[in-house]
Structure 1
Amino acid sequence: MIYKDGLEIPLKAELADSFFKRFKGLMFRKSMASESALLLSPCNAIHTFSMRFPIDVVYLDSAARVVHVEKSVQPNKIGKTIKSATSILELNAGMAEKMSLKSGDLLEIVKTS
């Protein structure tokens, strides 16, 4: 579960916490469910090679504070490297705006079983 300002955001984040899971990310998937996200940790840069759909990329620091947002990153691109980021939340394109995510926002990411 993901919370912003104490309010639940209706997204379930899949955790990519190994080298292979982070490298594979969303490659080769046809789509991602609208209520889904991918949390890459540790991570401070991404690529969208072999992806089939655009994504929003939310860079988070160690406190889960948003340090940068890239909207609608198209397939086969290299995203920015943000040195202060320790994890990245990948969302369907348009979700960052829909959720009003911006630099400085503090998120709480709670692991559920």
Structure 2
Amino acid sequence: MKNCSILKNDKVLFSEVKLADRFITRLVGLLRTAGLSENQGLLLKNCNQVHTFGMKFSIDAIFLSKKGDILHIEQEMKPGKVSPHIKKAYWVLELKSGSCNQHQLEINHCLVVRQ
């Protein structure tokens, strides 16, 4: 899986983000992960809904437009949940639970993906 970084206003927020841009990497997602550190995440391409079935920890899920605008945020998604379907989302960024509050991320903020 490729790595990328997520930036806001030219500041790196998350430096160890795996890019899930293929069927199998999107299918497996974070299932084989025991947890995420402060700077880790998973970025799902061509995605507008996620679930946490089979996961062992809660996540924050950020739904982004193709150009990186935050469209919707699901904070503290516990295992066994399904997010809403966000029609215009192109990316979903899955992060350690609490990351959105820590970085004060809100709807309409813009994030940049650096590969």
TM-score class normalised by the smaller sequence: over 0.9
The match for 2:57 among 50, 53, 59 is 53
Quick one: distance in 2 between partners of 1:7 and 1:83?
Answer: 28
Give yes or no for the alignment of 1:83 onto 2:74.
no
| 2:35 match | 31
Q: CA deviation at 1:28?
A: 3.4
Report if the CA contact (8 A) 1:44-1:82 is conserved.
yes
Report if the CA contact (8 A) 1:47-1:78 is conserved.
yes
| 1:109 match | 113
Give yes or no for the alignment of 1:66 onto 2:96.
no
Report if the CA contact (8 A) 2:64-2:72 is conserved.
yes
> What is the identity percentage for the equivalent residue pairs of Structure 1 and Structure 2?
32
Instruction: Render the CA deviation track for 1:26-74: whole Å, top value 9, x for unaligned.
Output: 1132112221010000100001011000000000001111000010000
Quick one: distance in 2 between partners of 1:49 and 1:97?
Answer: 24
TM-score if structure 1 supplies the norm length? 0.93
Report if the CA contact (8 A) 1:28-1:52 is conserved.
no
| 2:11 match | 7
Quick one: distance in 1 between partners of 2:73 and 2:9?
Answer: 17
Q: Which runs of 5+ in 2 are unaligned?
A: none
Q: Which runs of 5+ in 1 are unaligned?
A: none
Over the aligned positions, Cα root-mean-square deviation in angstroms equals: 1.0
